[in-house]
Amino acid sequence: MYSEKVMDHFKNPRNVGEIEDADGIGEVGNPRCGDIMKMYLKIEDGIIIDVKFKTFGCGSAIASSSMATEIIKGKSIDEAMKVTNKAVAEALDGLPPVKMHCSVLAEQAIKSALLDYSRKNNIQIEGLEDFNPNEDVHEHQ
């Protein structure tokens, strides 16, 4: 059902945990739907120098969070903004169609954490103007 990459990231998830003094925290998903992702960012000079996550969800939700943190670590805010759910899914060598919303959740978690960072620092991040962290990701299936 899952690719080896998905299973690898499920078995050995990268960057699990919390960041005490995070610069941006995003939480997306809904326990009712069985998935919640929480992402913590440490940002210095516009670069994501550290990222951690916690996820309640299925195997692909955990793997998608793990992969998303791996992709954005060390990247600039602009680069992180360009990470799409498709990029996360492709990096995992694909997800089953019914699980694509997990990768959408990962993209939302990044954006949600960046939105929190932009609000705390009173800055504008291009592309977040219309972002709604509470959008129902299940419609993306």
Partner 1 sequence: MGKYIYMDNSATTPVKQEVLDEMLPYFNIKYGNPSSIYSLGSQSKNAVEISREKIAKVLNAKTKEIFFTAGGSESDNWALKGVAFANKDKGNHIITSKIEHHGILHTCEYLKKQGFDITYLDVDEYGLIDLDQLKEAITDKTILISIMFANNEIGTIQPIEEVSRIAKEKGVYFHTDAVQAVGHIEIDVNELNIDLLSMSAHKFYGPKGIGALYIRQGVKIDPLISGGAQEGNRRAGTENLPSIVGMAKAIELAYENLNENNARLIKLRDKLIDKILKNIDYVRLNGHPINRLPGNVNVCFEFIEGESLLLSLDMEGIAASSGSACTSGSLEPSHVLLAIGLPHEIAHGSLRLSLGDFNTEEEVDFVVEKLIEIVARLRAMSPLYEKIKEGK
Q: Give the residue numbers marked as catalytic.
A: 33, 102
Query: Under a CB-based contact definition with an 8 Å cutoff, are residues 101 and 29 in contact?
Result: no
Q: Is 36 in the site for partner 1 (CB under 8 A)?
A: yes
Coil, strand or helix at 44: strand
Tell me which DSSP letter residue 47 carries: E
Q: Give the span between the Cα atoms of 108 and 64, in whole angstroms.
A: 11
Give the binding range for partner 1 (CB under 8 A) out of 48-56, 70-78, 87-95, 125-133. Answer: 48-56
Interface with partner 1: number of residues (CB under 8 A)? 27
CA-closest candidate to residue 41, choices 27, 54, 55, 26:
26
Per-position x/- string for 78-97, each x denoting binding to partner 1 as judged by CB under 8 A, each - no binding = --------------------
Query: Interface residues with partner 1 (CB under 8 A)?
Result: 2, 7, 10-11, 13, 16, 18, 27, 31-38, 54-59, 61-62, 98-99, 138
